[in-house]
Amino acid sequence: MQHPARPEHHRPYVSPALRLAADWSWRFVVVVAGVVLLAYGLSFVSEILIPVLIAMLITALLAPVVNLLHLRAHVPRAVAALVTLLVAAGVVAGLVTIVGSQASSQWSDLADSATRGVAEVENWLATGPLHLTSTAISDYVSQIGTTISQNRGTLIAGATGVVSTAGHVVAGFFICLFTSFFFLLEGRRIWAWLLHLLPDPARDPVDDASRQSWVTLTHYMRATIVVALVDGIGVAIGAAVLQVPLATSLGLLVFLGAFIPIVGALLSGTVAVLVALVAHDLVTALIMLGVVIAVQQVESHLLQPFLMGRAVAVHPLAVILAVAGGATVFGIVGALFAVPLVAVLNTGLTALARGGRRTEEVQEIAASDAPLAPDEPAPHDEPGPSSSAGDVAGPGAR
């Protein structure tokens, strides 16, 4: 007796496009989950991680000076690193002292100008199109005072948080200082140890990609310092000519803000415009605004293209999006590290895609840096690689 034929089982048809999209989707989800998990884990050690990252930026800036003293002037590397770091710290301390003395001498005049400005605003509110009476203005002020009183506990908690943050800043300063010193002193050995944690087949490609990334970071820091100096000096000179109080302090603020490309110097420049408005009048504030815009135009059309060059090949749109994304996710710290991170990743991933091979451009850049010291071991005489860029810390140090 014949059994009826069973119906053939048909597998559901999945188009190649959908299958490819599914393959990409789950891999993308895994990568994003890994990045989020890594960021979440690092957030618990941010008081240590941030000073270490700042130390890497400082090392990228000061390593050429240390190499020059060590290789050309034959100064012991420990002494060269210590002297360079102390001189840099002394320059920063001197600037802070100048700003503090200027602020203490001109703060009373600025406070008087602010009081007059508030009185003018109140007069405009009463006589202007809003026609607010003095009673209404007093009511608004009273409401603000009542709101502050009702939220006193929140304000006290915020003040306590500020004190705690100040303690973290002091601790972070010393961590950054000591880390910078040891990066400048033994950066190559630190990198060699980290490199030997990787499997053998991955060491050479990662080392070559990291060296190129370190060259990019070094050139980025050099260019950023020059751009920041030009921005700060330009705004300080403009404020001094217009007799705006705290001209040096405003210049230093713009200098620090310029480390956040494109938007940093512009946002910090608005503080100079506000000070000009409070200390003088609207016309002076508009002229100060013109000075800030002129400085920004010089930066955007002259300094950035010529100084950054092809060594830091990051499109302006990528810079803006990176700064916005970093500020949204991690605040001011994210905005500070967004662009150097994008530049380093761009160089490193491009090098890995080429199998770690150097381009002619990067070879020329690396060849222009300081060679190994005569008393240093040859590239393969010690565990880990050595770099023609000299003893520098972090990726790229060999």
Does 374 fall in a domain?
A: no
Phi, psi at residue 7, to the nearest 5°?
-65, 135
Report how far residue 322's alpha carbon sits from residue 263's, in angstroms, rounded to the nearest whole number. 11
pLDDT band at 393 (very low <50, low <70, confident <90, very high): very low
Report how far residue 339's alpha carbon sits from residue 332's, in angstroms, rounded to the nearest whole number. 12
Identify whether the C-beta of residue 215 lies closer than 8 Å to the C-beta of residue 362: yes
Does 117 fall in a domain?
A: yes
Report how far residue 329's alpha carbon sits from residue 39's, in angstroms, rounded to the nearest whole number. 10
Report how far residue 302's alpha carbon sits from residue 179's, in angstroms, rounded to the nearest whole number. 35
Rounded mean pLDDT of 199-215? 87
Whether the per-residue pLDDT at 395 is higher than 60: the answer is: no
How many domains, in total, are found in the chain? 1
Identify whether the C-beta of residue 81 lies closer than 8 Å to the C-beta of residue 58: no
Rounded mean pLDDT of 286-300? 83
Does 229 fall in a domain?
A: yes
Angle at alpha carbon of residue 184, lines to 348 and 202, rounded to 5°: 30
Structure-model confidence comparison of residues 267 and 6, the more confident one: 267
Report how far residue 389's alpha carbon sits from residue 366's, in angstroms, rounded to the nearest whole number. 6
Query: What is the per-residue pLDDT across 124-145, written as a single tens digit (0 to 9) for each?
Result: 666 655 555 556 556 665 665 5
Rounded mean pLDDT of 78-89? 90
Residues 6+ apart with CB under 8 A from 308: 219, 220, 223, 314
Rounded mean pLDDT of 146-150? 58
Does 37 fall in a domain?
A: no
pLDDT band at 30 (very low <50, low <70, confident <90, very high): very high
Structure-model confidence comparison of residues 155 and 101, the more confident one: 101
Q: Report pLDDT for 19.
A: 85
Look at the block and give the residue holding tokens 């400005």. Answer: 117
DSSP H helices in 46-76: 46-67
Look at the block and give the residue holding tokens 């916005």. Answer: 324
Report how far residue 196's alpha carbon sits from residue 207's, in angstroms, rounded to the nearest whole number. 10
Range of the domain at 101: 47-367
Residue 279, classed as helix, strand or coil, is helix
Helix axes 316-353, 200-241, angle to 10 degrees: 160
Rounded mean pLDDT of 220-241? 86
Following CA atoms 348, 346, 265, 326 in sequence, which dihedral angle do they give, to the nearest 10 degrees? Answer: -90
Rounded mean pLDDT of 67-74? 87
Whether the per-residue pLDDT at 370 is higher than 50: the answer is: no
Does 86 fall in a domain?
A: yes
Does 17 fall in a domain?
A: no
Identify whether the C-beta of residue 218 lies closer than 8 Å to the C-beta of residue 64: yes
Structure-token pair, residue 138: 């007093």
Does 20 fall in a domain?
A: no
Query: What is the per-residue pLDDT across 278-290, written as a single tens digit (0 to 9) for each?
Result: 777 778 888 888 8
Does 78 fall in a domain?
A: yes
Phi/psi region, residue 390 (left: phi>0; alpha: psi -120 to 50; beta: rest), is left
Overall pTM > 0.85: no
Report how far residue 272's alpha carbon sits from residue 267's, in angstroms, rounded to the nearest whole number. 10
pLDDT band at 29 (very low <50, low <70, confident <90, very high): very high
